[in-house]
Structure formats: structure tokens, C-alpha cells
Amino acid sequence: MSHSLSINKRTGIWDWLTTVDHKKIGIMYLAAAGLFFVIGGIEAFLMRLQLMYPNNDLFVGSTFNQLMTMHGTTMIFFVAMPAIFGFMNAVVPLQIGARDVAFPFLNSLGFWLFFLGGILLNVSWFAGGAPEGGWTAYAPLSSSSLYTGTGLDYYVLGLQISGAGSLMGGINFLVTIINMRAPGMTFMRMPLFTWTSFVISALILFAFPPLTVGLFLMFFDRLFDANFFDPTGGGNVVIWEHLFWIFGHPEVYILVLPAFGIFSEVIPTFSKKRLFGYHSMVFATVLIGFLGFMVWVHHMFTVGLGPLANSIFAVATMAIAVPTGIKIFNWLFTLWGGQIRFTTANIFALGFIPSFVMGGVTGVMLAMAPADFQFQDSYFVVAHFHYVILGGTVFGLFAGLYYWWPKIFGRMLNETLGKWHFWLFFIGFHITFFPQHLLGVWGMPRRVFTYLPNQGLDTGNFISTVGAFFMGAAVIVFLFNVIWTTKRGERAVNDPWDGRSLEWSISSPAPEYNFAQIPQIRGLDAYWVEKMAGNKEMKPSEPLGEIHMPSPSILPLIMSLGLFISSFGFIYHNYYIAGAGLLITFACMFIRSIKDDHGYHIKPDEMSERDRGITA
Amino acid sequence: MIGIGEHVKSTLPPEPEKATLEGKNKFLAFWFFLGGETVLFGSLFAVFLALRSQTLSGPGAEDLFRLPVVFLATIILLTSSMTSVLAIMAMHRNDLRMMQIWFLVTVVLGLAFLGLEVYEFAEYLNEGLGYTTSAFASAFYTLVGFHGAHVLFGVLWISTLLLKSKQKGINVVTAPKYFVASLYWHFVDVVWVFIFTVVYLMGKVG
Ligand code: HEM
Ligand SMILES: [Cu+2]
């Protein structure tokens, strides 16, 4: 078996389909998230076109409901989640001085499960209609086959498959961060992005199983006529709401905490100061993660659980404002007196602060149970969650893209185009969503496809749609920037921003083994510590030697394809196909468990000169 | 039993399942995985508890459950937990033969448990408890069936490991695999103890 120990270089598409390199998987996550962002964005834009004028008849009824459902589902599960996984893959191992993640094979499996889950969901457009139950898919509308076609089956199975992928990713990063930190990289020296990745991995581990169960039950209701959510069979629809929101509320922190992590990297770098209150930032992150599990009922105030339950959950919700406030002040204190550079990454971070604070304020308003009886299902809610998810997560993702692009791709994104992108997006964002607060208070309900003229809703809706045009333009500028700089962009040096953490100490893009020698960490902001000590590089913690790498494999893709195929069998009640698909997956698991993977070795003379310490 | 020092080979470190980084990773990941599984079963239990009195006009727990059969199943599964411990103890002694035997016993006991479960479900079906009869029925079959599927998966998993165990032996690469499989098996047993209590005992008396 000696052949398996030498490098088997794969090229082209085959390389991407079989790779287990976390950096390539990170790129695939980002690219897939980008693709779904465009799809979800078009859906949003079409909805806003419909709502531009009263009594419009562009997309009405079922079509609008499908757009609305697919937009929400896509944005949450197939844009924000994978983009976060993309950054985690691209950055976390580099920040902790690891050569790899703990389970490279599982990592690739997680990606393919997510990707095929997303494709499955979108196939529904061409197979008799997309789901139309909203991203929350409330039962019994969603659980009975009387009300909808196959759309919801696609929803259930698409989310189930991709959810399994997220769970694997969560476990993988927990173990990676606990077991694979470089010598000296104590927990209290970990960069904040790694910290937030760690906390959200734990949240994923505990939040996704309730969703899995909920989706299974809905699946059984729809497919085998079970009675979980069917009141006439003794079922209870509130169970779905509980299961969904026990997952759903932590999910919003899963989305926003990594963005907080990104800002905590970007702001210190571009203020040339260490992060203010590092310890309190870590503490606040963990606390937010914990409280995230305590507040799900604030989505159910109007269900009728009673004043006691409502009060407890209202107070718990407001409590989250405290650690979040700590974070905001720490960022402001980091900026205070710093040598601030207004790079694109940094202006996204700066634009985030006021936008997100507004979302936080409306969040506390919604947390007041009696007030929520008014806000419930109005456009005010739509404004609120877009302020937090867009103003928080999406701003964070863009900041992260401009910041880490050089490390990931080895080229700089164009800063001028970046500023255009930011301003169009930032202004468009507020024009789109600010009026929606007012529309909500003035009585416009959520999830409606039209409204009557001259009831005070015309102007607000018109302005909101105009804002969406700005945001669309911003995204086009960004895509242009990506394409143009990939061809023409300036090559990135190792440390273009004068960074503080480990990833900037190696080449851009990072070599496949990350670190030729695992570095020795001597403090918080590991690379900065060395720079201040007058060193150009990290001190190695080990002699230069052979590096063991895992071999690529096509199995993760085939395994995911098995589930993908099986889903069609279930959706169309063809149990042969369903069984055949599952068989493919199990066969792959079997092969994987009996076949040894010896991987291969990279020898020192195959590493680049710079990595071997021969600096020109 | 094994004579003193008879099969102990000094090449194996004291905790072979945690001797390498890969082993440590697997070990830790598996504990996290079980954490997730706990939440999964916890949710299923909660759903069952919420729906357990919704029998409509169909049969309920008191009409159906035969404690002796369930008790037998419990004994079988708990014994299999013990045999899997014996397998791991043999592994630590580097005694491949005994490890295989104890794992084989574990698998057989697992199959016996599944046989009883199939028999039990068939009985209930005869007595008019179909999957769609009531919310209680759906919740009962789903919770207990999920557990049964876990047992089946464990049986297949341990069998796969046994299949190649002669060829691969016990070393720092294979030890973590045997070890986590036995951890999984314990977990499945513990869940059963909860099912026995919450579903069957509480169904009969509470
Ligand atoms: C890019 C600009 C965006 C625009 C113009 C936009 C617009 C809209 C509109 C018009 C709705 C329907 C509101 C209703 O009638 O209830 C909606 C719903 C929603 N949006 Fe967005 N959106 C945008 C971005 C995002 C992003 C980035 C996310 C999340 C990462 C997101 C998440 C959601 C969710 C979860 C819903 C709720 C869907 C449902 O009620 O089932 N949106 N959006
Ligand atoms: Cu919430």
C-alpha cells in the first residue's frame, strides 16, 4: 500500500469533489452560500416588487407565499449558516495553529449534505411548487397533506439532510478547538472569532436535535398519517411550535455570534489596539449562548401559555441585552483613541454598530409580552429581524469577506468598489427596512401579498422597495468586484492588514498543510506578540518534519447523493427508490468503516521555501 | 477466565483508545455526539409525555403493556451492556479472542431484544393499536421505534467491527473504534431504562 503514502495530486473538478482540505471546503461553503444568496435575494426583490404598489398583481396568492417561504428558509439555512461554516473552515484551524480539523472526512460530508439539502429544497420550484408555509412551517397547515402539495415535503427533507450536515460540523469544530490548539494556545488566548465558533458549535449540537425531531414528526404526519400535529387525532400543534423555537431561537444566536466574532477581529486590527475587555467579551459570548436556550417562548407569547410563562420568558429575553450591551461598549472602547483605518472591512463593522443596536432596541420592545400582542405578525417584526440578521450577520459576513479574502484566495478585493458596495448596501438597508417599523405600527400585517390604496401604507411600501433596488445594486457591485479582482486583483502579501492573530503569519493563501512547523504561542494576539518582540515569524514548537495528510475521498458526495435520491422516493411514495437511496448511503458507511485510510505524507523538500524558514 | 498475565502483551498502552490524537478526537467527538442524542431522545420523551393520554377511542397503555415481556427485554439489554464492558476489558488486556466472544454475545443479546420488540409490536397491532390510531399510538411507536432503530444500528455496527477484527487486531487505531461502539451501546441501554420507566411503568401505574 505504499502508493497511498505518496502525494496523489488531483486536479480540476475532481479535486473539488473529493477534497477533504478544510480551506477548500471553506471556499465551497462560501461559494454555495453566495449562490443561494443570489437566489434568496432575487426572491426578496420579487416580493418587494409586488409590494411596491397597492393592489399589485405581479405575484399573488400561492406564488407570493412560495417566494416568501423560500426566501426566509434559504436565507437562514442556506446562506447564513453555510457562510458561517465557510469562515469557520477557512479561519479557525489557522487561528489556533492547527494543521487540520479533527475530522476532515466528516467535514466534507457535512458540506455535501448541506449543499444537496439546499438543492433538494430548490428543486421544489420545478416539481409542482415550492413550500408555502413560511420558514417556520407552522402546523397543522404544514403537517397535513390536504393543505399543500409536495412543497413541504421538500422543505422537511431538505432541512433534515442539511441539518445533519450542520450537526457534524458542530461536533467537528468543538473537538478541533478543544484538542488541536497549538502549544501555548490556551483558551484565554484564543481569538474571539474562534471563541464564537466554539460557542455556536455547542449551540448547534444542542439546538439542532429538537429541529430534527420536529421535522421527523412532521414527516411522519405527512407521510404515514401519524397524529402528532393533527388535533382530530389527539395531536397538538403547539408541540411543533415548541420544538421549532427551541431550535429557532438559539439559531439566531448561531447566526449572529460569529458575526460578533468577526467584528472583534476586524475592529482591533483596524484600530491598532488590542480588543478592549477580552475576558468580558468571552464571558458575554458564553452567557449569550447559554441564555439563547432560555428564551424561545418569546416567539409564542400569543399562543396562550399564560401570564406567568410569558413574564418569565420576557424577563429572560431582556436579560440578553446585558451581555450584548457589554459587547457593544467593548467595541466602542476598542475604537476609542485607536488609529482607525477606514477599510471596507472596518466600515462594515462600524456600520453594523448603530444598525444592530436599533435591532436590539426593537427586540426589547418585542420582548414586552403585552406589547407583543400588538406587534405580533405585523411588519414591525419583519423590520426587527431584518435589522438584526442583516444588520448583524450579513454585515459581519461582508466584513469577514473583505478582511479574510486575501488569506483565503491570495488576492485583495478592490477597496474602491468595496466602499461603493458598503454605501449602497448600508443606505439601501436602512431605506428598505426602517419604514417597515412604521408600516407595522400603522397596521400592515406580515406575510400578506397586497394592501389597499390610500390607507397610509402606499408611501412606506414604495420607499421600502426603492431601498431594495439599492441593495440589489450593492450586491451587483460586490459580485463584479469578486470577478474582476479574481482576474486582475492585486496579489495579497501574507499580512496585508498588519494583523494580530496567527493566520496572518503564514502565506496567502495558506499552504495545504497550514503550518510547516506548528508555532509556539506566547500570548493573546499571538502574532502581534512576536511582532512587538521584534520577530518576523512565529517561533516553531517542533522541528521540521514530514506532515501527515488525510487522503481525498469521493465517498462523502456519494453518501449525500444516496440521501438525496432517497428523499425523492419518500416524497413520491416510491419506497423502492427510498430504500435504494438509503442503501447507497449505508454501503458507503460500510466501505468507509472497513477500508483503512492511510493518508499520505508531505516531505519537507515538497514545502515552499518560505515555509521551511528560508526567507529570501 | 483468563490466567494471570496470560494474554497481556506489553505493546498496548494502558488506554489504547486514547493513545493517539485521532483516538482522543474520536473519543471526545463521541461524547458530544451522545450529548446531541440525549437532546434528541429528550425531545421525543417530551412529545410522548405530552401526548400519552391522547388515546381517543383506541387502546391505551393500561390495556396493552405486558410488564413481564418488557421486563425480560430490559434484563436482556442490561446484560448486553455488561457483556460489552467485558469485551472492552478484554481489549485492554489485548485479548482479541475474548473481546470477539463478548462482542458476539452482545450482538446476539441485541438481536434477542429486537425479536422481543417485534413480537411486542405485533401483539399491540393485533389488539388494535395501529400507528395512526391515536396521537398516543404515534408517539409510542415513534419513541420506542427510534430506540429500536438505534439498537439495530448498534448491532450492525458492532458486527461490522467484528468482521474485520481478526485481520486488524487490537491496536491504537482500532481500539478507539471498539471503545466508542461500546459507549454507544451503553447509551442505547440507558435510554431504554428511561423508556422502561417513563413509558411502561408510568403507563401502568401512573
Ligand atoms: C437583501 C435584502 C432583503 C430583502 C429586500 C428582504 C425582504 C423580505 C420580505 C419582503 C419578506 C416578507 C415579509 C413578510 O411579508 O412577512 C422577508 C421575510 C423574511 N426574510 Fe428577508 N429580505 C432580505 C434579506 C434577508 C436576509 C439576509 C435574511 C436572513 C439571513 C432574511 C430573512 C428573512 C426571513 C427569515 C423572513 C421570514 C419569512 C417568513 O415569514 O417565513 N431576509 N424578507
Ligand atoms: Cu427568539
Distance CA A298, CA B173 (A): 48
Q: What is the largest CA-CA distance in chain B?
A: 65
CB B201 within 8 A of CB B157: no
The predicted structure's pLDDT at residue A594:
82
With a 6 A CB cut-off, is A22 part of the ligand 1 pocket? no
Whether A615 shows a pLDDT value over 70: the answer reads: no
* pLDDT confidence band for A10 (50 / 70 / 90): confident
Average pLDDT of the residues in B134-144: 97
Give the chain A residue whose CA is nearest to the CA of B156.
Answer: A590
Q: What is the pLDDT of residue A610?
A: 67
**Banded model confidence at residue A348, pLDDT cuts 50, 70, 90:** very high
Ligand 1 atom showing the smallest separation from residue A133 Cα? 41
Q: Which helix (H) or strand (E) holds A600?
A: strand A600-602
Residues of chain B neighbouring A178 (CB-CB closer than 8 A): 28
Cα angle: A379, vertex A79, A451; to 5 degrees = 20
Interchain proximity A236–B37, CB inside 8 Å = no
Going by pLDDT thresholds of 50, 70 and 90, the confidence category of residue B149 is very high
Q: What is residue A1's predicted lDDT score, i.e. its pLDDT?
A: 33
Q: Is the CB of A83 under 6 A from ligand 1?
A: no
| pLDDT exceeds 80 at position A84 | yes
Cβ-nearest to A220 among B32, B138, B157: B138
Confidence of residue A399 (pLDDT cuts 50, 70, 90): very high
pLDDT of residue A616: 39
Measure in Å the smallest separation between the Cα of B153 and chain A Cα atoms: 11
Q: How far is A165 from chain B (nearest CA, A)?
A: 13
pLDDT above 70 covers what percent of chain A? 97
Band of residue B204 on the pLDDT scale cut at 50, 70, 90: confident
Q: Note the pLDDT of residue B29.
A: 97
Structure ipTM? 0.94
> Residue A35 above 90 pLDDT?
yes
Cβ of B132 and A225 within 8 Å?
A: yes
Is A432 touching ligand 1 by the criterion CB < 6 Å?
yes
A582, A562 contact by CB (below 8 A): yes
Task: With CB atoms and an 8 Å threshold, state whether B134 touches A227.
Answer: yes
Chains A and B: how many Cβ contacts under 8 Å?
Answer: 108
Nearest-ligand number for the alpha carbon of A381: 1
CB A222 less than 6 A from any atom of ligand 1: no
Give the C-alpha separation, A340 to A343, whole Å. 9
Least confident of A50-59, A125-134, A176-185, B5-14: B5-14
Q: What integer pLDDT is reported at residue A6 of this predicted model?
A: 44
Instruction: Supply the DSSP symbol for A393.
Output: I
Give B-chain residues touching A213 at CB under 8 angstroms: 40, 43-44, 47
Mutate to test the pocket of ligand 1, among A71, A356, A377, A463 (most ligand atoms within 8 A of CB): A71
Q: Best mutation site among B22, B32, B55 for testing chain A: the one with the most A CBs within 10 Å?
A: B32
With 90 as the cut, is the pLDDT of residue B15 above it? Answer: no
**What mean pLDDT is predicted for residues A65-93?**
97
- Label residue A149 by pLDDT band (50, 70, 90): confident
Instruction: State yes or no: pLDDT of B1 exceeds 60.
Output: no
pLDDT for A5 equals 43
Is the confidence at residue B127, as pLDDT, over 60?
yes
The residue nearest atom 40 of ligand 1, judged by CA position, is: A134
Q: Which atom of ligand 1 is nearest to the CA of A446?
A: 16
Write out pLDDT tens, residues B31-53.
Answer: 999 999 999 999 999 999 999 99
Atom 1 in ligand 1: which residue has the minimum CA distance? A41
Checking if the pLDDT of A2 tops 60, the result is no
Does A390 contact ligand 1 (Cβ within 6 A)? yes
pLDDT in tens, A410-446: 999 999 999 999 999 999 999 999 999 999 999 999 9
Min mean pLDDT across A134-138, A388-392, A461-465, A605-609 is at: A605-609
Whether B56 and A234 lie within 8 Å, measured CB to CB: yes
Our answer on whether the CB atom of A71 is closer than 6 Å to any ligand 1 atom is yes
For residue A239, which residues of chain B lie inside 8 Å, CB to CB?
47, 50-51
| Residue B69 CB-density burial (10 A; 0-12 exposed, 13-18 middle, 19+ buried) | middle
Among A178, A213, A234, beta carbon nearest to B136: A234
**What pLDDT is stored for residue A593 in this prediction?**
85
Cα–chain center distance at B61: 23
Q: What is the pLDDT of residue B9?
A: 53
pLDDT, mean over chain B: 92
In this complex, the residue of B43, B139, B177 whose CB is nearest that of residue A243 is: B43
Task: Examine the pLDDT at A3 and tell me if it is beyond 80.
Answer: no
Which residue on chain A is closest to B42 by alpha carbon?
A210
Report the percent of chain B where pLDDT is more than 70.
95
Distance from CA of A235 to the nearest CA of B (A): 5
Q: What are phi and psi of A457, to 5 degrees?
A: -105, -10
- Higher pLDDT: B206 or B12? It is B12
Q: In the numeric block, which cell numbers belong to residue B203?
A: 403507563
| One-letter identity of residue A80 | A
Q: What is the per-residue burial (b if ≥16 Cβ within 10 Å, else e) of A430-444?
A: bbbbbbbbbbbeeeb
pLDDT score at A612? 67
Confidence of residue B160 (pLDDT cuts 50, 70, 90): very high
Contact B103, B84 (CB under 8 A): yes
Q: Is A182's C-beta closer than 6 angstroms to any atom of ligand 1?
A: no
Closest approach atom of ligand 1 to CA A135: 41
Residue written as grid cell 448541506: A114
Contact B39 A175 (CB under 8 A): no
Residue in A255, A386, A432, A477 to alter for ligand 1 test, most ligand atoms within 8 A of Cβ: A386
Mean pLDDT of chain A: 94
A384 Cα to chain B: minimum distance (Å)? 30
Beta strands in A310-445 (DSSP E): none
What spacing in Å lies between the alpha carbon of B7 and ligand 1's midpoint?
66
| Whether A236 and B135 lie within 8 Å, measured CB to CB | yes
Over residues A548-568, the pLDDT tens digits come to 999 999 999 999 999 999 999
On the question of pLDDT at A345 being above 70, the answer is yes
In chain A, whose CA is at the least distance from the CA of B165?
A594
**What was the pLDDT predicted at A456?**
94
**Which pLDDT band holds residue B30 (cuts at 50, 70, 90)?**
very high
Cell of B48: 410522548
Ligand 1 touching residue A48 (CB < 6 A): yes
Which of A167, A228, A246 has its CB closest to that of B36?
A: A167
**pLDDT one-digit tens code per residue, A491-545:** 999 999 999 999 999 999 999 999 999 999 999 999 999 999 999 899 999 999 9
**A176: nearest CA in chain B?**
B25
DSSP string, A27-40: HHHHHHHHHHHHHH
The pLDDT of residue B2 is above 60: no
- So what's the pLDDT on residue B4? 42
Whether B7 has a pLDDT exceeding 70, the answer reads no
* Pocket perturbation via mutation, ligand 1, pick of A65, A66, A68 by most ligand atoms within 8 A of CB: A68
Angle subtended at Cα B171 by Cα B166 and Cα B176, rounded to the nearest 5 degrees: 100
Q: Which residue has the cell 410569558?
A: A310
Kindly report the pTM of this predicted structure: 0.94
A586 pLDDT band, cuts 50/70/90, is very high
Min distance B179 CA to chain A CA atoms (Å):
14
Contacts of A298 (CB under 8 A, 6+ apart): A249, A313, A314, A317, A366, A367, A369, A372
How confident is residue A144, by pLDDT bands cut at 50, 70 and 90? confident
